[in-house]
Amino acid sequence: MNSSNLPASILSSIRNRKQRALVREDETGRRDPSDLLVASYNVHKCVGVDGRFDPARIAHVIREIGPDVLALQEADTRFGERRGLLDLNWVERETGLVPVPVSGFAKAHGWHGNVLFFRHGVVRDVHQVKLPGLEPRGALLTELELKDGAVLRVIAAHLGLLNRSRQQQARMILDILDAREDQPTILMGDLNEWRLGVRSSLNSLSATFRGMPAAVPSFPSRLPVLALDRIMSNRPGLIEQVHVHDTALARLASDHLPIKAVIRAHAPI
């Protein structure tokens, strides 16, 4: 998507709204029990499109999704002591998801608002990355040993609003990966870029993340036309397709819709 066909994207979103309202269960809802469901969700500091601060709505949307690995953005206050905005114990009771531990902010949930949850497995390594740019942005790089012994690297990130900052942030992520052992890797989060191709600030990622499925509109939640949220992998076939989680509650709870993708049991992890 680029700015030249944005009006066409708006018209397409309007036409598809009725169909999305009728179809509540997509391919991710009919997956094999051994598949892995990953999801990303910018929770907008738990403030919905109605202006209400309501963390319980966010937790209920997470339960709707039922992910095995979940990346959240804007889960903390932005400045000061970086206070977390969700009741993590309640989220764990309601969803079975456990947050990946981070350090540096005693009262925060994640790293610069990024929180990564997982359902099964063991955290082998956590690397907190402060991304360059004018805004306080970060990424959380985690290596998870899954219950079958396979290792999956997950990068949960929230990139900046400025094109130049996103370019710098994408290059830093690539530099970190280049310095590490090659492993199956998922990058997901609010990457704040709707353009594709040479004009995209994410263009530098395409060589490493060859498994870049088609971007799906996720913002704004009530009439999504911009694909700001992404899930991509460095292995072809690791992710087959990305879906938007479009329900009545999700359209209300945040200004972003969650996105999700399935890693099939036969995927080359």
User: For residue 103, what pLDDT is reported?
Assistant: 73
Residue 24 has pLDDT above 90, yes or no: no
In the predicted model, what is the mean pLDDT of the chain?
85
Distance of CA 257 to the CA centre of its chain: 10
Residue 27 has pLDDT above 90, yes or no: no
Residue 246 has pLDDT above 70, yes or no: yes
Of 132, 197, 213, the C-alpha closest to 165 is: 132
Three-state secondary structure call for residue 151:
strand
Domain boundaries, the chain: 37-263
Position 29 confidence tier, pLDDT thresholds 50, 70, 90: low
Residue 157 has pLDDT above 80, yes or no: yes
Q: Sign of torsion, CA 200 267 116 64? A: positive
pLDDT tens digits for range 158-170:
999 999 999 999 9
Give the Cα separation of 126 and 103 in Å (integer).
10
Domain 37-263, CATH: 3.60.10.10
pLDDT tens digits for range 114-151:
999 999 999 999 999 999 988 889 999 999 999 888 89
CA atoms within 13 A on the CB side of 28: 24
User: For residue 21, what pLDDT is reported?
Assistant: 46
pLDDT tens digits for range 72-103:
999 876 655 666 778 888 888 888 999 998 77
Give the Cα separation of 266 and 241 in Å (integer).
15
First to last CA, the chain: 30
Name the residue with tokens 């309501």. 54
Residues with Cβ within 8 Å of 232's Cβ and at least 6 positions away in sequence, in order, are: 186, 187, 188, 205, 209, 211, 212, 213, 239
- The pLDDT > 90 percentage for the chain reads 59
Q: Judge contact between 17 and 47, C-beta under 8 A.
A: no
pLDDT tens digits for range 41-52:
999 999 999 999
